[in-house]
Chain A
Amino acid sequence: MVELFVAKAGDIADRDRCVVVEGDLEIGVFRLGDDFFAWENNCPHMGGPVCQGKVMNRVNEVLDDGKKSHGFEFVEADVHIICPWHGFEFNIRTGVHPGEANTRLTQYEVVVRGEDIYVRT
């Protein structure tokens, strides 16, 4: 097992990421508040650089009690990373695609020591 230094915690902004490289392996380490999550920079769809995509919240469609649609809303609790190749979205906390639970990112362990963020490969 190898432990890679990623960054100082303060150097990764909330809802941002830092991609580290070890040989052919690329890992994106994301920050959501005080939590960190590490995912392989390799989309399960076609191998795109998923961790280099845009961060956006999950979109929900608003229905009233009569099942009528009233447009869209962002869900603040669900933050997604979106693969820039084809738009596949993944929940940054779980690595799971919002529309198909078996489509998910490959996870790596994050280690926080004080201000230093590491990822184990």
Chain B
Amino acid sequence: MSEDYKRTYSQIDDWSDSRELLANARKQANQRNFDDVFIVDIDSHISDGGAWPEIMDLVEDPVIRDAASAFGDGSKRGAFLNHTPGLQWQNVWGRIPHGQGLKEPVEDTDVPRDVVLVRKSIDQMGLDYQVVFPNALLFLGMHPVPEMEVHLATAYNRWLVERILPEDPRIRAMLYLPFNNPEAAEATVKRFLGKPGVAGFLVTSSRHKPVHSNEYMRLYAMLEEAGQVLGFHTHLNWQDEYTSQLNRFISMHAISFVLCNLVHLTNWVINGLPERFPKLKVMWIESGIAWLSFAMQRLDHEYMMRTSEAPLLKKLPSEYMRDMFYTSQPMERSNEALLAATMEGISANSQMLYASDWPHWDFDLPSVIWDLPFLDENAKRNILGYNAARVFDLEIPERYSKVAAE
């Protein structure tokens, strides 16, 4: 905890200091000596809409940039965004204040507000790196104006690279790929590859373009050649025909956050993309892990009977899945035996990477991994940090003398 912060122990509300909110996280980190554990958070979120006007100033199309002023009573706040009602339901109607975004006042104006907030969570959770992704872009793949995806994503990527990442080497980002426009996605890789702080590239999974479409092959080849991670970050979609039948956020979130990645992963495997791009590092983000045991068994079961429909495959779907990477959050753990079996099934020791999803309503702390009784210490250290260091080629601070076995 920052030395200059004194706890209040008062009721936590939408405007509470996140150091107060995460004080017990710091306590957990001290109790588990996390200062001796290399920890990387692969997925957290920047939730501050206050920076949106600044981001709109980085839109490169002069007409669209000018048109942003027509939004937010001239403030440009929220310009062109296509959020769905779901995001406004994440705080369980006031029960989880941070679920609606961190609203706390920030006194330090030397750096962007988001940098201050990210630093607080890094310090309280005991992290070494935190990979951030903007809330505002999670649903952008469903924008009714397809070209808007390119305009907004490029502006946001620029803002991250030019204004946020240079402020602190512990902050990294996976940049948004405007996936509905394959040529623009390729241009994004070319433009930002190698920029300081860029950890990899990411596709938001709420979209209706099949990942095996031929138009993506050049993009995948580029990422494979560059040794970059391609992440698929899940999100809700309450408008799909099936999910539109779900009348409660709990139901929609439980299903929708898995469904999109389940579809993309199935297409990825059955169309033989792991055979076409064997060195491409593919990562599935924020769908939890319980779905993976289902997908492995289901696809293996059907593949053995319908092998002719997946002729590019040279081994079982589950074996390809064991070569891919998965973030840990939200870790479903009400049944420890099922969790242990799933982690064994996906070779979590080498393929799972810790993610917090902070400050979203279902965030996980590093203790969720550290306290699992069926993992040995090497596995815990791998999942919490060393797998990320290997996959993202992150520098491990010298103070960590103990290096976990892969």
Residue ranges of A at the interface with B (Cβ–Cβ < 8 Å): 17, 19, 21, 24, 26, 41-42, 46-49, 52-54, 56, 82, 84-87, 89
Is B367 positioned at the interface, with any CB of A under 8 Å from its CB? Answer: yes
Q: Do residues B9 and A48 form an inter-chain contact, with CB atoms below 8 A?
A: no
**A89–B93 alpha-carbon span in the complex (Å):** 13
Q: Tell me which residues across on chain B come within 8 A of A53, comparing CB atoms.
A: 11-12, 95
A15 to chain B, nearest CB (A): 11
Q: Do residues A49 and B21 form an inter-chain contact, with CB atoms below 8 A?
A: yes
Closest to A100 in B: B334
**A14–B74 alpha-carbon span in the complex (Å):** 44
Residue ranges of B at the interface with A (Cβ–Cβ < 8 Å): 9-13, 20-21, 23-25, 27-28, 92, 94-98, 361-365, 367-368
**A70–B20 alpha-carbon span in the complex (Å):** 39
Q: Do residues A47 and B12 form an inter-chain contact, with CB atoms below 8 A?
A: no
Q: Do residues A21 and B9 form an inter-chain contact, with CB atoms below 8 A?
A: yes
Q: Do residues B367 and A46 form an inter-chain contact, with CB atoms below 8 A?
A: yes
Of all A-B residue pairs in the complex, the 10 with the closest CB atoms, nearest first, are: A19-B9, A84-B12, A87-B95, A82-B95, A52-B12, A87-B96, A87-B92, A47-B24, A49-B24, A52-B11
**A26–B28 alpha-carbon span in the complex (Å):** 14
Q: Tell me which residues across on chain A come within 8 A of B364, comparing CB atoms.
A: 46
**A87–B13 alpha-carbon span in the complex (Å):** 13
- Contacting residue for B28 out of A47, A82, A84, A89, CB 8 A: A47
Quick one: which of A24, A46, A89 has the most chain B CB within 10 A? A46
Q: Do residues A86 and B9 form an inter-chain contact, with CB atoms below 8 A?
A: no
Q: Do residues B12 and A87 form an inter-chain contact, with CB atoms below 8 A?
A: no
**A68–B163 alpha-carbon span in the complex (Å):** 55
Assuming A54-B11, A82-B96, A84-B95, what are 11 further A-B pairs, CB within 8 angstroms?
A21-B9, A42-B24, A46-B368, A47-B367, A49-B21, A49-B24, A52-B10, A54-B13, A84-B21, A87-B95, A87-B96
Q: Do residues B24 and A54 form an inter-chain contact, with CB atoms below 8 A?
A: no
Closest to B28 in A: A47
**A85–B97 alpha-carbon span in the complex (Å):** 8
Q: Tell me which residues across on chain B come within 8 A of A19, comparing CB atoms.
A: 9-10
Q: Tell me which residues across on chain B come within 8 A of A86, comparing CB atoms.
A: 96, 361-363
What would be 14 A-B contacts, judged by CB atoms less than 8 Å apart? A17-B11, A21-B9, A24-B27, A41-B9, A46-B364, A47-B365, A49-B12, A49-B20, A52-B20, A53-B11, A54-B13, A56-B94, A84-B97, A87-B96
